[in-house]
C-alpha cells in the first residue's frame, strides 16, 4: 500500500514547469552571438546608438590585437576577407552593412587595413562597434 | 484478483505510462540550456564614412575651413592641429553641435594610434549628436 502511494506522486506540475523553462531557454538561445570571439576586448562606447537588431547580410570583421582578422570563429587572411566582401557586395549590393568589432588595443593600421578592403570593394559606410554594457 | 490480472489492468490506465525516460531527457535538455545561457552584451554602433579607395586620403593637405578635424595620435588628440584632451574635445563637440548638428567632421587616425582612442572620440561625437563623420587614416 505504501509503495503504491509513492508511485502516485503527481509529476504533472513539475513537468509543466520544466517545459516552461526549456521553452524559455530555447527561445533566448542566440546562436548568432557566436559570431563574436570572446578574446577581443571591444572598447566601451556608451553614448552611441544601440544596435537593436543584427541584419543578416552584415559583415562582421573582428580585428584582434595582433591585427589578424576573424570572421565568425575563423581567422581570414586579408585576401580571403576581400573575396568575402566581394561576394557579399555581388549578392546584396553596396548597402551591405559592415560592422567592425575591433580590439581596443589594436593599432589603427590594422583597422585601416580592414576598412580599406571594404572601401576598395565599394563599401564606404562603415560601422564601428562599441560596448554599452557588458553582461559579465 | 490474481497478479496477472492486476498487471493487465495497470497497463490500460494513462497514469502508468513510464515518464522516467522523458523526464531524464527533459532534465538533460534543461541542464544544457541553463549552462549555455548567456545574457548578451549591449552593443552600440558608430557610423563613419571612408574615402573612396581609388583616391587616397590626403590628411596632410589643408582642410576646408568649415570642416572640423580631429586627429587621433597614440595617446593624445588634436583638434585642428591643436593638442586637446578628451574633455576639451567634448566641450568643442558640444559647441559645434549647438551651432550646426550636421557639421562635417573629419577624424584622422594615425597608424599607431589605438583603436580604443578612436572609439572614445567617436563616442563623444555621437554624444554631442554630430553624425556626419568621415574617418581618414594617416601615417
Alpha-carbon Rg for chain A in angstroms:
22
Residue B70 contacts A, CB cutoff 8 Å: no
Does residue A131 surpass a pLDDT of 50? yes
According to DSSP, the residues that pair with A75 across neighbouring strands are A70
A40 within 8 A of A73, measured Cβ to Cβ: no
Q: How far apart are the CA of B66 and the nearest CA of chain A, in angstroms?
A: 22
pLDDT in tens, B11-60: 556 667 788 888 899 899 889 888 888 777 888 999 999 887 555 555 55
Q: Which of A26, A112, A116 to mutate to test the interface with B (most CBs of B within 10 A)?
A: A112
Task: Determine the average pLDDT of the residues in A84-94.
Answer: 91
A119–B119 CB contact, under 8 Å: no
Q: Give the residue with greater pLDDT, B2 vs B50.
A: B50
B115–A99 CB contact, under 8 Å: no
| Band of pLDDT at residue A88, cut at 50, 70 and 90 | very high
Instruction: Give the number of other CB atoms < 10 A from CB of residue B88.
Output: 13
B48–A33 CB contact, under 8 Å: no
> Dihedral sign, CA of B56, B59, B65, B68?
positive
Residue B103 CB burial class (10 angstroms; 0-12, 13-18, ≥19): middle
Mean pLDDT of all residues belonging to chain A: 86
| Band of pLDDT at residue A99, cut at 50, 70 and 90 | very high
pLDDT in tens, B51-92: 875 555 555 555 566 778 889 998 889 988 889 888 989 999
Residue B71 contacts A, CB cutoff 8 Å: no
Q: What is the pLDDT of residue B99?
A: 87
B109–A108 CB contact, under 8 Å: yes
Residue B66 contacts A, CB cutoff 8 Å: no
Residue A50 has φ and ψ, to the nearest 5°, of -75, 145
pLDDT in tens, A14-61: 888 988 988 988 888 766 666 677 788 899 998 889 888 878 888 999
DSSP string, chain B: --HHHHHHHHHHSGGGS--HHHHHHHHHHHHHHHHH--PPPEEEEEEEE---TTS---TTSPPPTT-EEEEE-SS-EEETTEEE-HHHHHHHHHHHHHH-TT--EEEEEETTSBHHHHHHHHHHHHHHT---EEEEEE-
Residue B128 CB burial class (10 angstroms; 0-12, 13-18, ≥19): buried
Q: What is the pLDDT of residue A95?
A: 87
A119–B118 CB contact, under 8 Å: no
Q: What is the pLDDT of residue B1?
A: 46
B-chain CB neighbours of A124 within 8 Å are 49-52
Rounded Cα distance between B133 and B101, Å, is 11
Amino acid at each position: 500500500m505504501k509503495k503504491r502511494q509513492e508511485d502516485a506522486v503527481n509529476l504533472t506540475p513539475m513537468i509543466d514547469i520544466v517545459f516552461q523553462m526549456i521553452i524559455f531557454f530555447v527561445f533566448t538561445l542566440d546562436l548568432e552571438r557566436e559570431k563574436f570571439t570572446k578574446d577581443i576586448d571591444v572598447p566601451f562606447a556608451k553614448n552611441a546608438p544601440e544596435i537593436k537588431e543584427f541584419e543578416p547580410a552584415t559583415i562582421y570583421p573582428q580585428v584582434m590585437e595582433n591585427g589578424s582578422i576573424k570572421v565568425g570563429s575563423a581567422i581570414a587572411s586579408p585576401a580571403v576577407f576581400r573575396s568575402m566582401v566581394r561576394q557579399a557586395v555581388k549578392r546584396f549590393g553596396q548597402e551591405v552593412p559592415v560592422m567592425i568589432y575591433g580590439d581596443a588595443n589594436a593599432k589603427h593600421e590594422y583597422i585601416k587595413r580592414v576598412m580599406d578592403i571594404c572601401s576598395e570593394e565599394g563599401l564606404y559606410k562603415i560601422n564601428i562597434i562599441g560596448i554599452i554594457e557588458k553582461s559579465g | 484478483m490474481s497478479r496477472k490480472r492486476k498487471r493487465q489492468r495497470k497497463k490500460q490506465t494513462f497514469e502508468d505510462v513510464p515518464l522516467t525516460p522523458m523526464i531524464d531527457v527533459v532534465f538533460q535538455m534543461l541542464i544544457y540550456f541553463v549552462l549555455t545561457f548567456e545574457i548578451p552584451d549591449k552593443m552600440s554602433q558608430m557610423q563613419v564614412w571612408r574615402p573612396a579607395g581609388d583616391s587616397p586620403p590626403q590628411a596632410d593637405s589643408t582642410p576646408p575651413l568649415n570642416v572640423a578635424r580631429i586627429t587621433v595620435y597614440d595617446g593624445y588628440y588634436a583638434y585642428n592641429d591643436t593638442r586637446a584632451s578628451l574633455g576639451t574635445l567634448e566641450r568643442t563637440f558640444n559647441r559645434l553641435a549647438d551651432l550646426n548638428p550636421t557639421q562635417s567632421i573629419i577624424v584622422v587616425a594615425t597608424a599607431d594610434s589605438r583603436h580604443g582612442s578612436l572609439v572614445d572620440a567617436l563616442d563623444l561625437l555621437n554624444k554631442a549628436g554630430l553624425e556626419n563623420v568621415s574617418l581618414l587614416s594617416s601615417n
